[in-house]
Amino acid sequence: MVDAEETNISAHALLVTKEGKIILQQRDNILGIVNPGLISMFGGTIKAKDNLEQGLRRELLEELELNIDNYTVEKLGTFLKTKEMDGLDWVINVWVVKNVDLENLKIHEGKGFVCDYPAELLKLDKLTRITRLVIQSYIDSSNRF
């Protein structure tokens, strides 16, 4: 049964430390969840009652106890999952949140953190397809951030 509150739109964040490292999520390896065992960004599905920014705030609070009110937050872009490549059609909105301190995050979803410089993260084979695209886009537009 589909939850009437759920949409096929999500809000995710590329969390960047002061040193320029990116903080990602090592997903649990549980059947039935999205991207089991893979490495992805933090964030999730927008509820029908949320706008994109509200959804991003809610997801980061739920998953990390991260309140982004005092951070620089800038939209990186919109990325598309497709049935052909990913098994479903989905719109993924991604923001960059800068100067995040890994030590202040409390993980409530996933097995743990993966934190490294963007070019090093791209060498990992367990990145989700969209996370890989997002990191490459971040590198390509790094003069913007």
Transcribe the chain into DSSP letters. ---TTEEEEEEEEEEE-TTS-EEEEE----TTSSSTT-EE-EEEEEETT--HHHHHHHHHHHHH---GGGS-EEEEEEEEE-HHHHSS-EEEEEEEEES--GGG----SSSEEEEE-HHHHTT-TTB-HHHHHHHHHHHHTGGG-
Instruction: Give the global pTM.
Output: 0.90
Domains detected in the chain = 6-144 (3.90.79.10)
- Provide the residue-wise pLDDT of the chain in tens; the chain has 145 residues: 445 688 899 999 999 999 999 999 998 777 666 666 789 999 999 998 989 999 999 999 999 999 999 899 999 999 999 999 888 899 999 999 999 999 999 999 888 999 999 999 999 999 999 999 999 999 999 766 6
